[in-house]
Amino acid sequence: MAALARSSLAQECQPYWKAVPVPADGFVNSIYAADFGEGHSVYGAGFGYYPLAQNPVRRWDGFAWQVAGAASLGSGVQNGFRMLHDGQGLGLYYIGVGAGQVRTMYMWRRHVRWRPVPFGMYVNPTPGHGVSISPMFSTDQEGIAGLYGVERHGFEPERADWILRWTGEAWKRIGRMAEGSGPVSYQPMFTFDFGEGPELIVSGFFEEISGVPARGMARWNGHRWLGMADLPGAHPTAVFWPNAMCAYDDGVHGLSLYAGFRAASPAVGSGLALQGIVRWNGSTWVGVGGGVGFPDPNLQGGVFAMTVFDDGTGPALIASGAFSLAGGVPARNIAKWNGQVWAPLGAGIGAAATQMAVANDGRGESLFVVGDIFSAGGGSVTRIAQYVGCKGGQCYADCDNNRILNANDFICFLNTYAAKDPYANCDGSTVLPVMTAADFQCFLNKYAQGCP
């Protein structure tokens, strides 16, 4: 056996895609990266189908999924994980779906069992009608610190929906959402400092908030609501709202707010409305390197998830959605923007990521993606994959991730090749077939050269 050691022959690091295994009886459909005293880890849920199993939330340790929290909860996760602060400390929240499709919101902190949230914090939706209340977002930023939620009124167009703030015992209404007709669909909440202190940003399918014109997006500074500029090129009757928001400093414009959205078709929009992603320049929305899309302009794409990740070349804005081009460069459903140009993440992924998380599971700083994804990097995955960057100790030749190079790594590579795991695409090729005999020679070379 040979412990990992630096080699003078070590070659330049290259990021790579890898499948993340899931239990035989389930899958992962929601992830979140957090530190609950076990190191910065990825937590996942959505294992199994009701009524076949009711499985706990689990933590990925680099080898397998370990139970996180001492409780067995309803299978399924509605709207994904949320990291929220209810005034008593940070906790991981999610809505479990149990028998009879009954939904219950649970909260977990370190050394505390998973338990339902306090009475009134979550009101179970009645399908189609009735009032529902759900915690959505929290922040500790001065002036707007607190836990925020949404009160919905189902398919009752005559009833407006509300933005709520938790007092510690009950919800207080702070913003009345109104739109023409039909159900109101709220998307992300976010915080950003536009120069006068942190503000809460709310997006959704609405025309105004508390009497202030705000088509699809509004800002709350702790005292009053403000609107934001309409998206240039959007149809006059269309409401633009982001699927995702992210703050990113590209080194040129400083920290900026980015918004990803479902692009309009040429029949109902033009200009930036077709690009799927925009940046706020302080007064209006501007383009991001030409945006994302498809060669056929009639195909609607867009960006549905964003985060910031450093693969070793510097922090970049990662955008995932439905597209085959980013800034005119081929990129399969995921790409990175460094403030100047777009670039693909290897051979990309087979579908849009619905959630992304950044953590180091021992392979190095990695970007984890989850969604209806069954291919990544030219190989096969089951809803979840990781893109291993070149920070935090990457060693590609250490296939089994045990920090030792030996014959087991060759067996591991053979198994990943047979399983069509994208890890076996050693040379990072993007032209089919991506896995060939050249990958075996590539692995041999990397093993012989050791690790940086």
Helix-, strand-, coil-residue percentages of the chain, each rounded to 5: 10, 40, 50
Asked if the model's pLDDT at residue 156 lies above 60, the reply is no
Question: What pLDDT does 171 receive?
Answer: 96
DSSP 8-class letter at 451:
B
Based on the number of CB atoms within 10 Å of its own CB, is 316 exposed (0-12), middle (13-18) or buried (19 or more)?
Answer: buried
Asked if the model's pLDDT at residue 161 lies above 90, the reply is no
> What integer best gives the mean pLDDT of the chain?
86
Let me know: does 401 contact 416? Beta carbons within 8 Å.
no
Asked if the model's pLDDT at residue 140 lies above 50, the reply is yes
The angle formed by the CA atoms of residues 375, 376 and 381, to the nearest 5 degrees, is: 55
Question: What pLDDT does 340 receive?
Answer: 94
Domain ranges of the chain: 17-394
Encode 109-145: b = buried (16+ Cβ within 10 Å), e = exposed. beeeebeebeeebbbebeeeeeebbbbbbbbeeeebe
- pLDDT 10s digits, 247-282: 999 998 999 999 999 998 888 889 999 999 999 999
Pick the CATH number of 17-394 from 2.130.10.10, 2.60.200.20, 3.30.360.10, 2.40.50.180: 2.130.10.10
* Band of pLDDT at residue 218, cut at 50, 70 and 90: very high
pTM value > 0.95: no
- pLDDT 10s digits, 40-49: 889 887 765 4
Q: E-assigned strands of 323-442?
A: 325-326, 329-330, 334-337, 342-344, 355-360, 365-370, 375-376, 379-380, 384-388, 404-405
The angle formed by the CA atoms of residues 237, 239 and 242, to the nearest 5 degrees, is: 160
- The number of beta carbons lying within 10 Å of the beta carbon of residue 448 is 12
3-state DSSP assignment of residue 168: coil
- Which residue type, as a one-letter code, is found at position 47? F
- pLDDT 10s digits, 274-318: 999 999 999 999 999 999 999 998 888 999 999 999 999 999 999
What mean pLDDT comes out for the span 413-429?
95
Sheet arrangement for strand 132-139 = 132-139, 146-152, 161-166, 171-178, 208-209, 212-213
Structure tokens at 401: 């991730």
Query: With the CA atoms of 402, 407, 409 and 413 taken in that order, what torsion angle do they form, in degrees rounded to the nearest 10?
Result: -160
Asked if the model's pLDDT at residue 159 lies above 90, the reply is no
Which residues have a Cβ under 8 Å from the Cβ of 195 and sit 6 or more positions away? Answer: 282
DSSP assignment of 14-48, as one string? --EEEE----TT----EEEEEESSS-EEEEEE--S
